[in-house]
Amino acid sequence: MTASRGPLRAPPRRAFSARSLVGNLLVTLVLWLPAPTDACDEIPRYVSMKPKGNPEAPVSAGFTAEYECRPGYRLIVPLVRPTSTVCQADGTWAPPLQEICTRKSCPHPGDPLNGRVEGSTQFGSQMNYFCNEGYDLVGNSVLRCELSGNEVAWSGDPPQCNKILCKPPPQIQNGEFTNSHKDTFEYNEVVTYSCKPSGGSDPYSLVGNSTLRCSGRDKWSSDPPECKVVRCEFPSVTNGKLVSGFGTKFYYKHEVQFECNEGYSLKGSPKIVCEANATWVPEKPRCDKGSTPDPGETPSKPLGGGAIAGIVICVCVFLGLIAGCCVYLQKKKKKGETEGTAAYSTYQNKSSTPAQQIL
């Protein structure tokens, strides 16, 4: 005989506790919270300082950037400003920083002997050197304050100002210059050239500047002159004549002046000069018959006696007309005064009573 089994029952269900509900809610909230992200995309940059360790952006909130001076800069003393800043959750940095470093300086080089220096000694600046007149600068005229390891130093040695001297100027053929025995000439010292006797019928002419000046190191103010015979042909103009600069020989820089005969007009310059290539400059003029002279080239002729007499007559007539007008106006004025007096007397007689007239 088998025992009978009763109907199967489900296991009893657990009651849903409040603790389980709170735990599930917390898990859900945690899952919903955003994952931590980088808050600051850039690290602040400054001219005189940089962050220690060279951190790379972006950085998360709470990151601290500590700053130090860049090469060529030093801390400002006394240091009263913060040297670090912190990345905030909103992407800003606090506290905001200001420059805490200043540029280093190179030692002042001082003025060179016979010169001066201008500029700044700070890192990145430069000094400019100048020499007094009569002295030449030897070396670099500009020095820069640059990095030298962890310190700053000048880019080179300072220049010097040396006295300007010239070697003797060139010797010239058929000529000589003063103080030719000297080996050196000082700044602004002058030498004078002259020509030697030619030994012939025509003398040497000095063509060019007779004086040269020492204007720079081994530099003279111009090229040396020449000593040579410069003789121009006898100047003559058809239908014209010489009026100044007469001579039998015409050498360098000789000047003559022409005038045309009566009935001819001068074309060109009346004055010409014998120049270095033994030619007359400008070209000799010409005298053309019955032509009109070039304006401004011929001297103005003095006024003749008839022209002067005509001018005097015109002036006298003009003065006579002025005097006549003055006399006429004066007479007219006196006549008006007389007529006015007579009219006034007549008016007085008419206005008086018979008794007054008898009296």
DSSP 202-242: S--EEES-SEEEEEETTEESS---EEE--EEPPP--TTEEE
Model pTM above 0.85: no
Query: Do the beta carbons of residue 201 and residue 152 sit within 8 Å?
Result: no
| Distance of alpha carbon 342 from alpha carbon 336, whole angstroms | 10
Q: Is residue 173 part of a domain?
A: yes
Helical H segments across 59-108, by residue range:
none
User: Among 126, 147, 163, where does a domain finish?
Assistant: 163
| Residues 150 and 169 placed together within one structural domain of the fold | no
The torsion angle over the Cα atoms of residues 73, 79, 82 and 83, rounded to 10 degrees, is 30
Domain CATH number, residue 237: 2.10.70.10
Closest by CA position to 56, among listed 40, 68, 79: 40
Q: Is residue 356 part of a domain?
A: no
User: Among 228, 256, 272, where does a domain finish?
Assistant: 228
- Residue numbers of the chain with a pLDDT score lower than 70: 1-37, 291-307, 309, 312, 332-359
pLDDT 10s digits, 252-295: 999 999 999 999 999 999 999 999 999 999 999 999 998 644 54
User: Among 182, 198, 228, where does a domain finish?
Assistant: 228
Query: Do the beta carbons of residue 72 and residue 87 sit within 8 Å?
Result: no
The pair phi, psi for residue 293, each rounded to 5°, is: -65, 150
Query: Do the beta carbons of residue 168 and residue 181 sit within 8 Å?
Result: no
| Average pLDDT, rounded, for the chain | 83
| Residues 157 and 171 placed together within one structural domain of the fold | no
Copy the structure tokens of residue 171: 């010797």
Residue range(s) defining the domain that contains residue 90 = 38-103
* Measured distance between the N- and C-terminal CA atoms of the chain, rounded to whole angstroms: 203
In this structure, the number of other CB atoms found within 10 A of the CB of residue 336 comes to 10
Give the count of domains, the chain.
4
Measured between alpha carbons, how far is residue 309 from residues 234, 249, 322 in Å? 43, 46, 20
Q: Is residue 46 part of a domain?
A: yes
Q: Is residue 32 part of a domain?
A: no
The count of C-alpha atoms lying within 13 angstroms of the C-alpha of 122, restricted to the half-sphere facing its C-beta, is 6
- Bridge partners of residue 65, in order along the sequence: 85
Q: Is residue 20 part of a domain?
A: no
| Residues 72 and 120 placed together within one structural domain of the fold | no
212 alpha carbon, distance to own chain's centre: 30
Q: Is residue 270 part of a domain?
A: yes
In this structure, the number of other CB atoms found within 10 A of the CB of residue 269 comes to 16
| Residues 236 and 274 placed together within one structural domain of the fold | yes
Q: What is the pLDDT of residue 347?
A: 40
Q: Is residue 176 part of a domain?
A: yes
| Residues 42 and 95 placed together within one structural domain of the fold | yes
| Residues 196 and 182 placed together within one structural domain of the fold | yes
CB under 8 A, 24+ apart: contacts of 104-107: 104/72, 104/73, 104/74, 104/151, 104/152, 105/145, 105/152, 106/145, 106/152, 106/153, 106/154
| Residues 201 and 240 placed together within one structural domain of the fold | no
| Distance of alpha carbon 262 from alpha carbon 287, whole angstroms | 10
Q: Is residue 194 part of a domain?
A: yes
